[in-house]
């Protein structure tokens, strides 16, 4: 099967002035109508979107951060998966480059409508590659101007997803691939801020250790650190209706601001 070329830009980049790039690869929710017609009804709502994270992080513009946001859903192509679709969590349930399974364990596609290898390759070229080319170019620009850069990967997910993990996910899940993608000083600063507050529970390098983007681009030896923060959606939205909750978000955002501010401060050290 082939797919129509996108008629809208596949991402939006806000270029900032600070040595910080926030990437929100699962914020997109658009599914082309021709593709949506091949999906089961429950998948057409793009339920596994990282809902509203660009809205939640919008304050970061005031900190001078660059922000990269896709338009299209992870069901079109998952921007946080390697282009060869190698599993990031071997032995655990996960979803792929062009997901055929929802987080609920239900199928994404109607019988016989899943993409073949040629279509997956086409989606990579049309949707995946432009995002990553821009991400690399922006990191290079930031590093050229500041001599260093931090890539912050903003994600969110339902707090309970039995298909992917057991029990209740902590409120905030910090991932640095076991400390490989950032300097120990930044890791310690972020963990210190999380430990100093009591409103939210948290974990570092638990179920979510950082996806492809964090692991692939985080390289402290060349001056690029990377951190992933996976938020439980219950803390800023209604998980069932997908509605943004202004009151919950306003309570969470000061902590996010502290984490980003500490990240920037670490760049000045």
pLDDT digits (tens, 9 = 90+) for 204-228: 999 899 999 999 999 999 999 999 9
Q: Are 151 and 21 in contact (CB under 8 A)?
A: yes
Q: What's the pLDDT at 95?
A: 63
**What spatial distance separates the first Cα and last Cα of the chain, rounded to whole Å?**
52
Q: What's the pLDDT at 119?
A: 94
Mode of pairing for the β-strands spanning 202-204 and 20-23: unpaired
Give the dihedral sign, CA 149/78/51/175.
negative
Q: What's the pLDDT at 164?
A: 85
| Ranges of the chain with pLDDT below 50 | 90-91, 93
Alpha carbon distance 23, 80 (integer Å): 10
Alpha carbon distance 7, 71 (integer Å): 11
Q: What's the pLDDT at 3?
A: 72
Q: Specify whether the backbone of 105 is left (phi greater than 0), alpha (psi in -120 to 50) or beta.
A: left
Q: Are 148 and 19 in contact (CB under 8 A)?
A: yes
Q: What is the pLDDT of residues 14-38, one digit of tens each?
A: 999 999 999 999 999 999 999 999 9
The architecture CATH gives domain 14-264: 3-Layer(aba) Sandwich (3.40)
Q: What's the pLDDT at 269?
A: 58
């Amino acid at each position: 099967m082939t797919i129509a070329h996108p008629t809208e830009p596949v991402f939006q980049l806000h270029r900032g002035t600070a040595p910080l790039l926030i990437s929100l690869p699962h914020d997109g929710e658009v599914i082309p109508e021709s593709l949506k017609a091949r999906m089961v009804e429950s998948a057409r709502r793009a339920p596994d979107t990282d809902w509203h994270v660009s809205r939640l992080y919008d304050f970061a513009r005031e900190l001078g951060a660059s922000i990269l946001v896709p338009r299209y859903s992870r069901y079109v192509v998952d921007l946080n998966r390697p282009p060869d679709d190698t599993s990031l969590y071997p032995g655990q349930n996960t979803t792929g480059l062009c997901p055929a399974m929802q987080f609920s364990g239900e199928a994404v596609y109607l019988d016989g409508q899943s993409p073949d290898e040629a279509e997956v390759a086409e989606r990579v070229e049309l949707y995946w590659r432009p995002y990553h080319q821009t991400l690399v170019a922006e990191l290079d620009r930031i590093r050229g101007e500041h001599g260093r850069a931090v890539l912050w990967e903003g994600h969110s997910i339902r707090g309970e997803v039995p298909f992917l993990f057991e029990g209740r996910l902590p409120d905030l899940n910090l991932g640095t691939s076991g400390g490989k993608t950032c300097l120990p000083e930044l890791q310690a600063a972020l963990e210190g801020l999380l430990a100093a507050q009591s409103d939210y529970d948290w974990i570092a390098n638990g179920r979510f250790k950082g996806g492809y983007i964090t692991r692939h681009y985080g390289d402290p030896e060349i001056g690029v650190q990377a951190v992933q923060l996976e938020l439980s959606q219950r803390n800023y939205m209604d998980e069932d209706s997908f509605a943004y909750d202004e009151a919950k978000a306003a309570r969470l955002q000061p902590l996010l601001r502290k984490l980003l501010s500490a990240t920037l401060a670490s760049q000045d050290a």
